[in-house]
Structure 1
Amino acid sequence: MDAFANRVKTFDAFPKVDSQHTVRSDRGGFSTILTVFLTLVIIWIEIGGFLGGYVDHQFIVDDQIRTNLLINIDMLVAMPCDFIHTNVVDITDDRFLAGETLNFEGTRFFLPEMFKINNENTEYETPDLDHVMQENLRAEFSIEGQRMNQGAPACHIFGSIPVNQVSGEFHITAKGFGYRDRQSAAPQNLNFSHVISEFSFGTFYPLIDNPLDFTGKVTEENYQAYKYYAKVVPTTYEKLGIVIDTNQYSLTEQHKVIKPKKTGNPQSPPGIFFKYDFEPIKLLIAERRIPFIQFVAKLGTICGGLMILAGYLFKLYEKLLRLLFGRKFTERDTEKKTGGLLDNEKTDIRKDY
């Protein structure tokens, strides 16, 4: 057994120092305690990170063919429902009379608290994984195509519109402006001030925030046009086997007052226009965990590297003390183990006397 141990020692990449050649000191003991403490802290952090996993964000090519989806809307327009016309047009020249599925409820116009009014929606963050998992409550509007109290001064428009998943536009205009209609709203009755509580694509998750949620615009101009340009990206969230498919979008805005012609009619239709386009990529947000073998190797590498770094730092510290205060100061309060060659010679000399 001893012969085998001696052979194994020849393969030791980090040969050990014999005890008789080591020196004990308060500084060395403190550095050892500090190194062990930092090592335990790092081990604790790494174990927590391994158990908690990490959130992986990846952009991949969207290989799923989707033919249609829903546009979910909940907004308030400062104009009577009788004067409002809604329509959806896409690049395939398909037209959807959004008024057949949307609900129009007459009410009064007001600005809710905590809404962003007349602000450009330039700052928006992707909802994180935990927030989406906590708020992934699906919902559907219980009614569609209802008309209620249409003579009120403002109109509450809400519902879902089934559309083709291609580039398109959703228009909210006044009757007689942009589309032929039996009725025509008087110019002095036009007011496209609005607040948006919900504007999303795909499955309706009312608790997940979107760039246009809780925003609004207020104007005193009759011939006002608000244009929103949305770039829609399919997004998939994965955690603990739960998969949520939704859509998020980036947004740019353009607002302008349309000048009237000599005849008094506007040069282009005023209104609220939502233009949307779909990106060919998908954002995948998933909780991952590294393999256990990789975790053990990573932990061993970190701990070994920390030990080596602590040794080099301690040697550097000792050399700096020796340069600044001298050899006597660094060797003060040190304890050297007996048993070395010189110790044996001193003992033999003392015995001779």
Structure 2
Amino acid sequence: MDAVAKRVRTFDAFPKVDSQHTVRSQRGGLSTLITIFCGLVIVWVEIGGFLGGYVDRQFIVDNEIKSASSINLDMLVAMPCEFLHTNVEDITNDRYLAGETLNFEGTNFFVPSLFNINNENDAHDTPEIDEVMQESLKAEFRLEGARANEGAPACHIFGSIPINHVKGDFHITGKGFGYRDRSNVPFEALNFTHVIQEFSFGDFYPFINNPLDATGKVTEDRLHEFVYVAKVVPTLYQRLGLIVDTNQYSLTEQHRVHKVGKDGRPSGFPGIYFKYDFEPIKLIIAEKRISFLQFVARLATIGGGLLILGGYLYRLYERLLLILFGRKYVEKDKERKTGGLLDNDVPVRHDGDDYKGY
């Protein structure tokens, strides 16, 4: 057994020092306790990270061929429904009368509390994976193409609009402005003050926050044009086999007030315009975990590095004490075991061939 122990000891890269050749001190014990405490904290953090996983974000080229999508809308416009015209037009020159699927409900106009009114929508944060998984409840509008109380002072517009998966725009204008219609809305009746409860693309997740949600614009100008430009990025959330395939978008705004020309007609078409374009990339946000072997290797690497760093810091601390206070202060409160060859307090005696210490 001793022979095996000797052979194994020859492969020890860090041979141990005999206890009789070591020196103990209060500072050394304190540094050991600090090193152990830091090691336990790091182990606790690593175990939590291993069990909780990490969030991986990747952009890839969207190789999925999509021909159709949808716009989910829930908003309130300060005009009677009978004066409004809704339409979708894209780069393929395909036009879709959104009024055929949207619902128009006459009501009184009001601004809900906590809505972001007349401010730039620059305070929006991308939803985290925990928030998305908690709020990923898919829904559908129960009504389609319904109309009620159209003569009321304001119009509640809600529903989903099928669109082509290409660049286009959805706009809300007054009848007779931009399109031929049987009736023309007088200038005095125009008012495109609006609040938006929901504006999203793709599958309808009513509880996921989007840049235009809970926003609005209030104006006193009759010929105001509001333009929202959205860059849509398909986004896939993954966690433990659960997949939420949705879209998020960045937003820019352009607003202007048209003038009335000499012919008595405005220089442009007032209204609310939502211009959109789908990006050719896809964002994948997935929760992943490292393997158990990687976890053990990380712990071993961190533990070894912590021990080496602790030793260097302790020697640096001893060197600073030596420079500042001298050797007497450094040697203070040190405990040295007796019986070693380096112990100067043990007398050494020579008797012939015998060599003994007393």
Same-fold call, TM cutoff 0.5 = yes
User: Do structure 1's residue 261 and structure 2's residue 252 form an aligned pair?
Assistant: no
The one-letter code matched in structure 2 to 1:194 is H
User: Normalising to structure 1: TM-score of the pair?
Assistant: 0.97
Deviates more, 1:328-337 or 1:66-75: 328-337
Contact 2:226 2:271 in 1 (8 A): yes
2:51 aligned partner = 51
Distance 1:342 1:300 in 2: 35
2:353 aligned partner = none
Contact 2:230 2:251 in 1 (8 A): yes
1:171 is paired with a residue whose SS is strand
Deviation of 1:268 after TM superposition, in Å, equals 1.4
2:346 is paired with a residue whose SS is helix
2:290 is paired with a residue whose SS is coil
User: Do structure 1's residue 329 and structure 2's residue 337 form an aligned pair?
Assistant: no
User: Normalising to structure 2: TM-score of the pair?
Assistant: 0.96
2:128 aligned partner = 128
1:216 aligned partner = 216
* Per-residue CA distance 1:181-225 (angstroms, 9 max, x = gap): 001101110000000000000000000010000000011111110
1:118 aligned partner = 118
Distance 1:263 1:323 in 2: 92
Deviation of 1:339 after TM superposition, in Å, equals 2.2
Distance 2:185 2:342 in 1: 110
Contact 2:78 2:193 in 1 (8 A): yes
Distance 1:219 1:255 in 2: 11
The one-letter code matched in structure 2 to 1:191 is N
1:82 is paired with a residue whose SS is helix
Distance 1:352 1:256 in 2: 101
2:109 aligned partner = 109
| Structure 1 pair 158–352 and aligned structure 2 pair: CA distance change class (3 A) | closer
Deviation of 1:345 after TM superposition, in Å, equals 8.6
| Structure 1 pair 333–344 and aligned structure 2 pair: CA distance change class (3 A) | closer
Long gaps (5+) in structure 2: 351-355
Distance 1:15 1:308 in 2: 15
Distance 1:206 1:337 in 2: 74
Deviation of 1:93 after TM superposition, in Å, equals 0.8
Distance 2:39 2:121 in 1: 46
Deviation of 1:21 after TM superposition, in Å, equals 1.4
| Structure 1 pair 17–265 and aligned structure 2 pair: CA distance change class (3 A) | same
Once the two structures are superposed, the pairs formed by residues 197-208 of structure 1 within 5 Å of their partners are 197-208=197-208
2:293 aligned partner = 293
The one-letter code matched in structure 1 to 2:318 is E
Deviation of 1:122 after TM superposition, in Å, equals 2.1
1:194 aligned partner = 194
Superposed structure 1 runs of 4+ greater than 6 Å apart = 350-353
2:246 aligned partner = 246
